[in-house]
Amino acid sequence: MVVDEWAPDEVDRLFHALADRTRRDIVVRVIERECSVSELARGYDMSFAAVQKHVAVLERAGLVTKLRRGREALVRPDIETIARGTRLLRGYEDLWRGRVARMDALLDPSPSEPID
């Protein structure tokens, strides 16, 4: 099962990273175009250090990577981790749909033999 392909600590880091609106926005921005941390910081009403901390949380979760280019640190998405996260959420959805299908089967009033 897809849910089992993640270690519990990895799942915790992923959901913790995505629980914050700014971090979700950073992921979207770097999916659209890789950005330096300085460039990202200009887009938020917070300090450079605060944006750096957000990027570090995303990095620990594996959602982004940083690449040093000269004096800049470029932030880019880790598409494989994002795809794994998507599969994880779909796995949870499949579990839920299976539960609903079992409940529907239990509640189905259709008789086993046709009524004349």
Task: Quote the pLDDT of residue 26.
Answer: 98
To the question of pTM greater than 0.85 for the whole model, the response is no
Which uninterrupted H or E stretch holds 22?
A: helix 21-32
Task: Quote the pLDDT of residue 77.
Answer: 97
Look at the domain 8-78 and name its fold: Arc Repressor Mutant, subunit A (1.10.10)
Tokens of 93: 């959805």
Q: pLDDT tens, 42-58?
A: 999 999 999 999 999 99
Confidence of residue 2 (pLDDT cuts 50, 70, 90): low
Write the DSSP assignment of 30-85 as a string of letters: HHHS-EEHHHHHHTSSS-HHHHHHHHHHHHHTTSEEEEEETTEEEEEE-HHHHHHH
Going from N- to C-terminal start, the domains of the chain cover: 8-78
Q: pLDDT tens, 12-69?
A: 999 999 999 999 999 999 999 999 999 999 999 999 999 999 999 999 999 999 999 8
